[in-house]
Amino acid sequence: MSSKKMITLKSSDGRIFEVEEAVAQESQTIKHMIEDGYGNSVIPLPNVTGRILYKIIEFCTKHVAVEEDIKQKSVEPTVVVEDVKQKSVEPTVVEDVKQKSVELPVDDDAWDAEPSDIDEWDAQFIDVDESTMFELIVASNYLNIKRLMDLSAQAIADMMKDKTVEEIRKIFNIQNDFTPEEEMKIRNENSWAYE
Amino acid sequence: MVHLSNDILEEVLCRLPIKCLIRFRCVSKSWLALISSPYFVKLHFNRSVQTKRNLRLFKSNLFQVDFDSLHDDDVLQEVKFRNYGFVPKSSCDGLLCMSNTRDTQRVLVWNPSTRRNPSKRWPNTIAEKNYPTTCLGDDFLSMPNVHAIDNVFLWNPSTRKALKLPYASIEIEKQIGLFNAYVYCVYRIGYDNTNDDYKVVRIVILSEPRSFSEYEIMVYSLRSNSWHRLEKFPHCPNWSNFGDCIVGGALHFMSIVKSDLKSENSIVAFDLGTEKCRVLPQPEYNGTPSKLCLDNLGGCLSLSCVYESSIVDVFLLKEYGGMKEHWSRLITLSRTSTFKIFHPLKPIAYSKCGKKVWLNMDDKRLVLYNLEQKSVEEIKDRDRSSTSLLYKYCLESLVTVDVPGTTKIIFGNWIHKEKIFKYAYCCAIQAT
């Protein structure tokens, strides 16, 4: 087996990480740097701390491995709609119409061939404190890793859903720059949303 | 805590449900600006369309079902609006076009000098009511009872803000007989992507039995907050089959041209931006179509075709407006000993996984069709307690109807939540 090319990354606090090229290229930012010829030297990432970079590398390594796994499995056909001119004239006869009992499927995974383990892994990965979530989203934005960006954005949104306005201000460290009258006016416009 | 830039904040916020976003508007001035910005409203809305979240179903009497909460609760929660006698006629991007419940009104004919109506059917006191009038014949004035045109609102149920559309009189020239003339109002709202504007098309049809119908078209633009009158369509619409499908910024309808030898159907697209009509090509039918029906399925124009052999095909128009615009057959249904087809067959929505389609059969049954297996998976007969299975889709959005200089109306308080048995409605809900 030929040895894979390794890319060296350096975090803001000076920690060095060596990763496979495929893993490093999960980040579009790093991918462009490699394409521009910087792949042979140490790539500095001054906006990412060592702690967060470690987690990001963990994420990218896992996803690269999963993708390689998928490539080896066969792909299920999903195409349904055919262009009219290509199909034969015979209309399909509907047979065996079954009357099913009333049951709401909770999710449509029941219809896939295998359950999504990677989603479970992702859920555990992002199950971290708010501070880390924020650092991850900022880093994944800087490094341009779409999948991690989506995952962390959704996790933060889920965390925010049931919070009150005051709690949001505390988490995001935001100063309330409304006067009490202004705030009251906005609240009253849509008082139903605050129930 | 690390500070999130506006770009990142938008990514996070566009994943929140509408109720949260409305609440978080008062977090700070910058959050208010971000959430209210037209860019963000569009971003959130597009995301809802893609992920099929924030969906509502409306029935004619204005029940709403919240799709997202469906997976949390086992029992369906229907919420009824206090609707003040208005019903949604059409919806687009979360905006509903609402008007009075009655679309059809009898036209009253009376002579203003004698203050009598020739048919002597209606009491003279009608003359004293202050109805807007339209001059039709010589000395006869007709008085359509025009609540349907007087009270039209654009309403976003999520923000609860409504805008009353300005009044636009009806001006139709037609000699009508003295009895049984009806005025019928059709409202359709759509998004004009050429001008980034919401348009409402109002068509008023004046019809009489044993006579042809006359109609007029008015178009309202939200940007200018005004109506303007249009010339009639170059293709005469088939009023019995008008359809409710605005797709790709155009209103589509069936047009029928009857000659001595035969009647020809054509599909016409009226573009809301250019206000011009074009005729769409029809698909290659597998037989002689006896009935055609247009709908909007997941943002694509769908055509349900019933053949003389009673087989039904549902086609979708792909690559709308492009060089490669073509029809693609989605579904074929045949009658079997156990499966009866009722007409008209209207596709309602895809399931959330996208692999199945819900169809309404003449409001008698809901059918779930599996696209991969090409078979009917489930049938739900209409429950006696349900008033109708005719659901319409509406997305929740933050689209505003703020027009400077108009009074803001906020209406639509939730009056109560009802837990309805799953049976009657879950078939429509399984669309998620």
For residues B161-185, one letter each, b for 16 or more C-beta atoms within 10 angstroms of the residue's C-beta and e for the rest, the string is: bbbbbeebebebebebeeeebbbbb
Q: Do A102 and B422 touch (CB under 8 A)?
A: yes
Higher-confidence residue of B109 and B423: namely B109
Partners of B198 in beta bridges = B191
**HEC secondary structure over A139-162:** HHHHHCCHHHHHHHHHHHHHHHCC
> Is residue B420 predicted with pLDDT exceeding 50?
no
DSSP assignment string, B338-381: S----SSEEEEEE-TTSSEEEEEETTTEEEEEETTTTEEEEEEE
DSSP class of residue B78 equals E
Contacts of B414 in chain A (CB under 8 A): 192
Question: Can you tell me whether residue B7 is helix, strand or coil?
Answer: helix
Asked if B56 contacts B395 with a C-beta cutoff of 8 angstroms, the reply is yes
Q: How far is B361 from chain A (nearest CA, A)?
A: 15
Q: How many residues are there in chain A?
A: 195
Mean pLDDT over B132-141 rounds to 47
- The β-bridge relationship of strands B152-156 and B134-135 is unpaired
pLDDT band at residue A141, thresholds of 50, 70 and 90? very high
- Weakest-pLDDT range from A145-149, B66-70, B163-167: B66-70
Interface of A with B in 150-179 (CB under 8 A): 153-154, 156-157, 160-161, 165, 168-169, 171-178
Average pLDDT along chain B: 72
C-beta neighbour count of A135 within 10 angstroms: 21
Is some CB atom of chain B closer than 8 A to the CB atom of A93? yes
Q: Which residue of B has its CA nearest to A100?
A: B378
C-beta neighbour count of B395 within 10 angstroms: 21
Enter the pTM of the model. Answer: 0.70
Judging by beta carbons within 10 Å of its beta carbon (0-12, 13-18, 19+), is residue B125 exposed, middle or buried?
exposed
Cα–Cα distance for residue pair A194/B22, rounded to 1 Å: 9
Contacts of A81 in chain B (CB under 8 A): 316, 318, 328-330, 371
Is some CB atom of chain B closer than 8 A to the CB atom of A107? yes
Q: What ipTM describes this predicted complex?
A: 0.76
Cα–Cα distance for residue pair B67/B430, rounded to 1 Å: 9
Contacts of B337 in chain A (CB under 8 A): none
Higher-confidence residue of A6 and A81: namely A6
Cα–Cα distance for residue pair B200/B220, rounded to 1 Å: 5
pLDDT band at residue B114, thresholds of 50, 70 and 90? low
DSSP class of residue A1 equals -
Q: Which of B314, B299, B186, B304 is nearest to B247 (CA)?
A: B299
The 10s digit of each residue's pLDDT in B205-229 is 877 777 777 888 899 999 898 999 9
Contacts of A111 in chain B (CB under 8 A): 353, 355
Q: Do A178 and B26 touch (CB under 8 A)?
A: yes
Is some CB atom of chain A closer than 8 A to the CB atom of B257? no
Contacts of A92 in chain B (CB under 8 A): 332, 334, 374
Q: Which of B165, B179, B94, B107 is nearest to B141 (CA)?
A: B107
Distances (CA, A) of B284 to A81, A88, B301, B407: 15, 12, 16, 51
Identity of residue A89:
V
The 10s digit of each residue's pLDDT in B35-49 is 989 899 888 888 877
Interface of B with A in 360-419 (CB under 8 A): 371-372, 374-379, 410, 413-414
Distances (CA, A) of B256 to B31, B69, B263, B310: 53, 44, 7, 21
Report angle CA B160, B161, B162 to the nearest 5 degrees.
Answer: 120
Higher-confidence residue of A180 and B240: namely A180
Cα–Cα distance for residue pair A165/B28, rounded to 1 Å: 9
What pLDDT is recorded for position B55? 63
The 10s digit of each residue's pLDDT in B158-201 is 777 778 888 877 777 665 555 567 777 888 888 898 888 899 99
Q: Do A81 and B7 touch (CB under 8 A)?
A: no
Q: Which of B292, B185, B290, B186 is nearest to B246 (CA)?
A: B186
